[in-house]
Amino acid sequence: MAINKGKKWEVQFEEDWKKCFPNTLCFRLPDQQSYYKGASSNPCDYFCFPGKKLFLMEIKSHKGNTFPFSDLRQYELLKSYKDLKNCICGIILWFIEHNKVIYVHIEELIKMKERDNLKSINIKMLQTKEYEIIEIPCEIKRIYPKCNYIELVKKFDGVE
């Protein structure tokens, strides 16, 4: 059975994170399919601790221009952890056809979804600067981007 592109992207995320932050925690939460198809009781895919803050990271990939919030089943769980001290919750999203990897903090997702009643994240949001979306520096080699997460963590004072 072939592993889908999204699962391979999760593996690539872990490899890149560990290269950026050697000898730190990058823990993959095993998928749980105990409720119904596509559901999980996990708040995210990874717990990452590069030294000062704990990152709860949901890893997504998407073809096309628009990532629908309906594909972010962990939204409510991520939101429930947003007020924990020194805890950063959000998603890493790879727009496959655009060769772009972005990070969206849970606070920005809440603005988009609840305040502005948006149904999705569009790649064009990177240009408008209406929302704080962090583009992750990456180099596309073969199929999967090789990403550098150091600047993302610096943004949240995770490393010096």
User: pLDDT tens-digit profile of 117-144?
Assistant: 999 999 999 999 899 999 999 987 777 8
CATH class, 8-155 region: alpha beta
Give me the mean pLDDT over the 84-105 stretch: 96
Give me the mean pLDDT over the 35-59 stretch: 85
Answer yes or no: are the C-beta atoms of 95 and 62 closer than 8 Å: yes
Q: How far apart are CA 56 and CA 9, in angstroms?
A: 17
- Residue boundaries of the structural domains of the chain: 8-155
User: What's this model's pTM, rounded to 2 decimal places?
Assistant: 0.85
Q: Is the pLDDT of residue 38 over 60?
A: no
Q: Which residue has the higher pLDDT, 94 or 146?
A: 94
Q: What percent of the chain has pLDDT over 90?
A: 72
Whether the CA torsion 11, 13, 17, 20 is positive or negative: it is: positive
